[in-house]
Structure 1
Amino acid sequence: MQHENYNDLLSFLVVAKECSFTRAAAQLGVSQSALSHSMRGLEERLNIRLLTRTTRSVSLTEAGEQLLKNIGPHFTEIQSQLLALSELRDKPAGTIRISSAEHAVNTVIVPKLTPFLKEYPDIKVELTTDYGMIDIVKQQYDAGVRTGELLAKDMIGVKISPDLRMAVVATPDYFKEHTIPKVPHDLINHTCINLRLPTYNSIYAWEFEKDGYEQKINVTGQLTFNLTSQRLDAALLGLGVAYLPEDLVRPYIAMGRLVSVLDDWCNYFSGYYLYYPNRRQTSQAFKLLVEALRHKVS
């Protein structure tokens, strides 16, 4: 393939990631028709169909999946090597993309980034809120954030928060009208506010442990959300029982707006970790970010 066609391969990677010509064109800064023309030209030169197009979506053919699998990591490595050149500059620079759950962004990452970004004005950080178990390499993220027990073994993990604990909460008025649960199984008789996980398109089962005995309870209710803030708002409105990070609800418990139950079943678990692939080169900007986010025991 001629050198001038490498841009088409880069465009193909973006289309494959976004599964949409509209979103890919916006990200690349080109028109949708120009991008579609580039993809048709790439397919003609390779003499094989890479994309299946419908009026609403774009998906990869088997050949497209194979091309993505084979070239994606190489382009990611090239981008990593180019980013590493920023180490030669007087000031660290570059854009770092991180995928993370909403709670970690709000309570850990953004507070730690506040002084970091002031100190390094040439470093940009792009944060995407996502509860899915995405492939950060395939999706071209520099790093992701998960709790420790969910880390893949082929990733480097850096602890960025203390251990965490969940809490089962509802308003005082809610518990005036409903019996307070004594054991997790009692929650099946309550109106609970659920969380849907996109990876498996399933409802998250609430997890409990006491004296070494673990329980996962599939609760039901009228409301299901995909963000932590939405579940908190619903709980504060008295719309049901919610299962939320304790640090998030602690101020509302102190104010008397929420009541915590089943505390003896809610144990501490591994906190958040920043994880990333074991590359041969990482940029100076990324190294500085890792150290800024690293949890330091006082």
Structure 2
Amino acid sequence: MADWQSLDPEAAREAEKYENPIPSRELILQHLAERGSPASREQLVEEFGLTTEDQFEALRRRLGAMERDAQLIYTRRGTYAPVDKLDLILGRISGHRDGFGFLVPDDGSDDLFMSPAQMRLVFDGDRALARVSGLDRRGRREGVIVEVISRAHESIVGRYFEESGIGFVVPDNPKIQQEVLVTPGRNNGAKIGQFVEVKITHWPTPRFQPQGDVIEVVGNYMAPGMEIDVALRTYDIPHVWPEAVLKEAAKLKPEVEEKDKEHRVDLRHLPFVTIDGEDARDFDDAVYCEAKPGKLRLFSGGWKLYVAIADVS
């Protein structure tokens, strides 16, 4: 196929962008589909008739980009195959606190159930390719991980523990059930029970747990405000603000001004009691009840119930 330019629907685009153009992604996918079997990079070089070192390197980079974008998969035999010809499903991993999870397909089809064994290979939020392996006991499609396309977390926040001299981190995110082993000598001085951030250095495999280095000791478990610091890191919540925003926030006064009370009923003098559970993240719902005087001495006037819901909506 030395005259691949005449067959490439994007040949003009490639010639405009590159001094030594190579086959476009579209032509590579078309060629592999018509070929009927996966091909190695060397085979593609020969079949497309590429001759220069620049073209060899450009093809290597293009195949790598197509693999990264889940257009191709690199097989164990060192060959490339189109993902859409292998009945593979691309999607995002959604973990569950009980250890199992799902692959949520990009194409909007039904989720694939992932067993706890499969979930030990990935973290919540990862993008992966999977194939349907059958149906589970509830009749749901069940899948197995073929390849992890991209990782959602470079680091994990959790509590540091040790057992038999081996350090490990238990993630705070309940959707991540794998403990991360800490590389010996890389606990950054963390003490047992403290919250830490561990950078992943070795991703999980069928035989090994994830491993990493502690890059920051966040603080003690019961320290005031610790749950906020942990949540910011665990869920990647933006917490660094532009200077203009900080200046605007600094203008706000800590006390309620008289003008803010207009058209509002002030109930701050009443001893409200929260109705939120003791494990609630915030306490913004409360009640207060008081007896109403009756017109007759022997009869109660009933009760008046105040319900305060601090809901911004």
TM-score tier by shorter-chain length is under 0.3
1 or 2, which has the higher strand percentage? Answer: 2
1 or 2, which has the higher helix percentage? Answer: 1
- The structure having more radius of gyration, on CA atoms, is 2
- Larger relative contact order (Cα-Cα within 8 Å, sequence gap ≥ 6): 1
Q: TM-score, structure 1 length as denominator?
A: 0.27
